[in-house]
Structures are given as C-alpha cells and as structure tokens.
Structure 1
C-alpha cells in the first residue's frame, strides 16, 4: 500500500485493512514495522479530525473524582464555595467560575480542558485585577456580553466574562486605567468602569472598516473647516462620522458607564488606527461638536509617536492641565476662529436672531456659538432653545435601526 496522508473515508478504510493485515502477521520485517507505525499515526490523525471524542462534562468529572477519592459534597466546599453553591454546581444550576476551575484543577487534578470544555486548553494565570469591581451587572443590562447563569451569579463570573470580551484585542486591555495624567475626570471616577467602557469602545471600533488609512498631519486647517461646516446640515453628526471614516479615523458613540462622568475619549488601536469615542452624556448639538473637536485635537496634537497613550475627558471637570487647555482652545478655534469671533461682537446680550444670522454667515449650526457664549459667560440658563437638545442620539439610533 502506498503511504500518504489520509483524506477520505475510503482511504481511511484501506489504511485500517492494511493495519489489521500487518498486525495479524506472526512476524514483521523492519519495513513492515515502520509501515505499521506510520499508518497507525495517519489513521489516528484522521480520527481526531473527523471523529472527535467529546470531552466529559465537568460535573461528571467532579463526580468521578469524588468516587475515586471517596469524597462527599461537603468536601467540595473548599473548591466551590459554601453548601448552597456546591449544590447549585452539582445540580447544573450554576456554571463553574474560573476561580472554581483553578481550585478543582489544583486540588483534585481535574484536567483544564475538561473544566473549560476545550481540547488542549489551559487555565489563564491569575493576575492582580479585582474582577468584582468591574460594573458587570450594568454591562449585562446593556447586552455587552452573553451569560447563561442567573443575574445573582454574574459577579462570580466577572473574570471569565471580561476575559472573553477582551479576547483577540490589545494586550493589557483589562488592566484598570490608573494614570491620571491621561484623565480629565471627576474625583469619584471608577477606574474599573472606565476600563470596561474603553474595552467596549475598542471592541466596537474593531468591527468597523475604515475606508482610508490615517495619515499623520492630515488634520489641516482645511480639514477642520470642512468638518465644522457639516454642523450646518441636519444630518451633520452622521456626516461627521462618514467624513472621519474616509480620513482614516474611527468615530463611535457609546453611552458612558456610571462613575465615569465621561464625555469623550481619544486613543489609537493596536493597528495604529485612531479612535474617537463620544458618550453623548449631554444630548445636545453644541456638546457633540465641541467634544468631537476636543478629542480630534488630541489626535492631531498630542500622540506623536506614543500610540499607546489615551485621553478620557469629563469636560465639566476643571483642569489646569496644559494639554487639556490646548485641546479646548484648538476645538474652539476650529469651530469659530478667534478673530472672526472677536469681530462678530456677540456677547451675553446677543439676541437669538443675531446668533442665527452669525451662524448662517459662518455656515455652522447655531448651537455652536450659543454654547460658546454659555461657556464664556458661565451662564448656562441662556440660549437653551438653540442648543439642539435631544437631536444627536436619535440620529445615531435611527442609523443603527
């Protein structure tokens, strides 16, 4: 028989017949022994690919080890938790967590691939992350992941849920964001919530294909003017997303998580594609355009060769940081150049008609000068009807629908 890789059932049957014939021989030559060994190897490889043996159920594996070791259910408490949890696991009402799996693997010697239900799998090494601090319940409510257990079991499974979300993305993405130099945030922000939001933002961006590659230095004055003038159009925010995409920049909208107080963020993906993510925490056109340009300022001015950095911004939070002040000034200049704003003569007493006339002349949305006047005079009671309240989220919601 000519020895070759087994690819079909017919070839597999022929190999078995030859193996059986060789094994029935009273004695074999060295060539026949070598032939038998090779055929057996090829047949086994074909069987593994086409007739895989299912891994035993983890609970059944636990029961088998209990039988071997003469263990009772109370002996499982060091591995699974209290009596109630042991009962839930053994009755199939609670999935095993990674913590339980590690204890069962180390204490009872149950193979990792059986516990994980994946051939040749190994358990991830423990790391110094407090998994229970991630806002798992809120993430589950938003359908950021699937979980087959009950809601009260979520926190016990935080590690595997977060690891699954981060699978295939950047290294160290699960390490909590702690470098406050890159955070313009309120004092009570939660680093774990911020990390979870960042993970979801990156995950969303990686599912979007950019139409062009981003080029360093491409955010010119003309680029800024073109983008700002899109605000004049009813579909401006959606057109801004398309405009940025065609210039190699991701723009996604992702609602903030509690204790992040987040308006927007800017970062680079592992493949060096820039990402701007906005929360629309305040669903107003003035907020959308200013935050967008603030984050774009970071992309244009502040990353340089450090593509592993990131910026997270609560624009209500006061700051003395030079970089953040520079981004604020760059955003304001992009939307309305300082010299034009100075000569326009708009002040705290400007009428609605004056603001609208100025906006038509500039070909920008009136929410932009109205919002600027509110910020400059720190009077957030004025011009509320010009801000484009509740006009942004619905655009992105309708687009998704």
Structure 2
C-alpha cells in the first residue's frame, strides 16, 4: 500500500463565525439566546460572526458548554482560519515583491553556493529572504538603509544596492564564523605592522595570517567574491562594539589593489566611528574620511620619506622599482600601483611586477 500525503491547501478561508452562524440557524437559536447562555455580549458575538474577533480558549469553552461542541473544535477552526489568512497574505506579499527579486543576482549567488536555486519565483524569493535573514522585502530597507545613499550619484557601471547588500550579507555570515577577541586598538595597530610584511607572500600564507592576526585584535577579515552590479572592492563596518569586519572582494585581482584596499579599510577602523558603513567603490561617501583612509594606506604601505626620495630621482624601471621595494620591505607590485596612482608611471608599464590572484573556484 502506498501512502499519499494530502498537501491540499485551500485558497479560501471559512471563519469560525460563519460556522457558528450556520450552527445557530440549524438549531433555531437566536444570537440573543446564545448571548444569554454563554455570557458573551451580543456585540461580541456579532464581531465573532463577522470575523472581526477571534475565538479564544475562554470563548471556546463557553461555546462548548452552550452548544455541546468541543472547545478544541472551535479552537481548531480558529487556528486553521488564521493560518489560511496568513498564507493568503503571504502569497499576495510575495507576488508584490517579485519585482525586487530581479535586482538580486540569484544565479551568481547560487553558483557560489550561497543559496539554492529554485524554478518557482516565489520559492526563490523565500530562499533569498532566508539568506538575508529577513521576514519580507520591507525589512531589507531597514537593514541596509544607506546603500541607496552610497550610490546616489551616477556610476561608470550600473550598480544595484540589492546586489551590494547580498555581498555584504555573505561577508557578515562568514565573519560570524570567525572567533575574535574583543577589539583592541593597540593590538590591531601592532597587527598591521606585522601584516605589512605579508605583501611579499602568496595567498596561501597571507590569508590565514591576516585572519589570525586581525581576529586577535577584534577584527574579522573575510574574502568574498564580488557579484555582478556591485562595483565594490572592500568594505568596513562594525558587527558590534567589540567586533569589526574588513571585507575584500579581489575586484581588481592584483596585489597593489588588494593591499591598498586592506590598509584603507584598516584606516577606517582606526580613524573613524563605529556606526558607519564604508564601501570602497561607492561614490556617495564622506570624501574627507575617504581621503584620510587613503592617506593612512599610503603611509602604512610605503614610508613617506623613502617614497619621496625615490620619486625625486624619477628613474622608474623594473630594476629600480624592485630594488626600492626590497629596500622598504614591500611588494614591487605595491610600489608600481602607487606610482601609477600618482601618475608618475604610465599605467601600461611594469604591470608584470604586480602579483595576480584568482579565486579557488575559478
């Protein structure tokens, strides 16, 4: 014998009040008489029959005694009615929110195993809401209220705040798995001095080192692949007063961009408040704070005095850049990046001194 599960879910709801009304008609009992028998007011009975009031346990017991129908029967009717009502409201809400789903890069997220892919659009929307940890699209605006502001100006490339929030959310989930000590400014400052030397190493060395050293200082460092329509290379924010997060996307895939972005985000942690979200790549930001973070990254990566003396000579070739990088203990690619950024070196030259990265899944 094969058991077939009945998964029928009605698309209509009959209220307990309708059942009660029919029951009174069958019995030839007036509402006035029922009011006297139960002690419920006529006004309350009318509200029950119009589904404007719910049947409570107390009301169910009174109906049981007056009509001889078990209290559980009335409570089950009420429970089923409320569930169907809720499902109908949920379906209507999901239908209305499907347009929002189009702005979320579901295919890219599924390829990265961030969520499951579904053929049914409403089911997919539910999966996306679970990923974000929100009950409905309305809560997205509450959780990421400043993303539209961050991208309020025209971008060179189209950016969807919903896609950016998905990238941030994945970073948040990965950061939650990193056990950190409570944030300590001095410990983080010391960690940065040690991390600088790792610009000479490959990802197999610097990724675990960054993670461990920063975690001891209360900062979770996560590497999260960028998504389409994001245009973000890094982000900094505080998960709570004792734990910050630095999120890196390897957007440009070269060591000069990676290390500058990391120290830029570290600058935000050391120099600025705990209530702001800093997005490297967004244009609607506090430009003064962005400039301060840039200055911090530059000075941390290459000592100002040494860099000034090197650039004064104006001899920028592979040999001189490599020798200078060795002298200051930094990756040659970082030096190339700084020279190009300051327009002292053509962006076409010396790029082979930069180290290129790619994700393991690629």
In the superposition, the TM-score normalised over structure 1's length comes to 0.60
Q: CA deviation at 1:145?
A: 1.1
Q: Identify the residue that residue 195 of structure 2 maps to in structure 1.
A: 227
**Aligned residue runs from structure 1 range 220-369, under 5 A:** 220=189, 222-234=190-202, 235-270=205-240, 272-303=242-273, 307-314=274-281, 321-345=287-311, 349-369=315-335
Over 3 Å counting, the alpha-carbon distance change for 1:344 and 1:160 in structure 2 is: same
Q: Which residue of 1 aligns with 2:24?
A: none
In 2: Cα distance, 1:184 partner to 1:294 partner: 23
Q: Indicate the residue corresponding to 1:213 in structure 2.
A: 182
The reply to whether residue 191 of structure 1 matches residue 161 of structure 2 is yes
8 Å contact 2:187–2:216 — kept in the other structure? no
State the match for 1:389 in structure 2.
Answer: 356
Post-superposition CA distance 1:343-375 (Å, at most 9, x none): 234666412121111122212211111111111
CA distance in 2, matches of 1:346, 1:229: 25
CA 1:318/1:389 → structure 2, altered by over 3 Å: closer, same or farther? farther
**Residues in 1 aligned to 2:123 and 2:153: alpha-carbon distance in whole angstroms:** 29
Checking the alignment, whether the CA contact within 8 Å between 1:214 and 1:274 is kept in structure 2 is yes
- Deviation per residue, 1:102-147 (Å, 9 max, x gap): xxxxxx946159959xxxxx96996997632322233223221124
Between the aligned partners of 2:210 and 2:236, the Cα distance in structure 1 is 16
For residues 178 and 319 of structure 1, what CA distance do their matches in structure 2 show? 11
Q: Give 1:375's aligned residue.
A: 341
Quote the residue 2:83 is aligned against: 111
Please report the TM-score for the alignment, with normalisation by the length of structure 2.
Answer: 0.66
Distance 1:320 1:383 in 2: 33
Please list the CA deviations of residues 79-124 of structure 1 after superposition, one character each: whole Å capped at 9, or x if unmatched.
xxxxxxxxxxxxxxxxxxxxxxxxxxxxx946159959xxxxx969
3-state SS in 1 of match to 2:148? coil
User: Between Structure 1 and Structure 2, which shows a larger proportion of helix residues?
Assistant: 2
For structure 1, list consecutive stretches of 5 or more residues without a partner in the other structure: 1-55, 70-107, 117-121
The aligned runs of 1:66-145 (5 Å cut-off) are: 109=81, 111=83, 131-132=100-101, 133-145=103-115
Q: Distance in 1 between matches of 2:154 and 2:324?
A: 32
Q: Residues 13 and 84 of structure 2 are in contact (CA less than 8 Å); yes or no, is this contact kept in structure 1?
A: no
What is the number of residues matched between the two proteins? Answer: 285
Residue 276 of structure 1 and its aligned partner are, at CA, apart by: 0.5
SS at match of 2:227: coil
How many Å apart are 1:321 and its aligned residue? 1.3
Match of 1:201 in 2: 171
Check conservation: 1:230, 1:237, Cα contact below 8 A. Answer: no
Please say if 1:62 is aligned against 2:30.
Answer: no
The answer for unaligned runs of 5 or more in structure 2 is 19-79
Deviations 1:244-295 (A, max 9, x none): 1222211111111111111111111146410011110111111111010011
- Confirm or deny: 8 A CA contact 1:174 1:195 kept in the other structure: yes
2:351 and 2:302 map into 1 onto residues whose CA distance is: 19
1:161 matched to 2:127 = yes
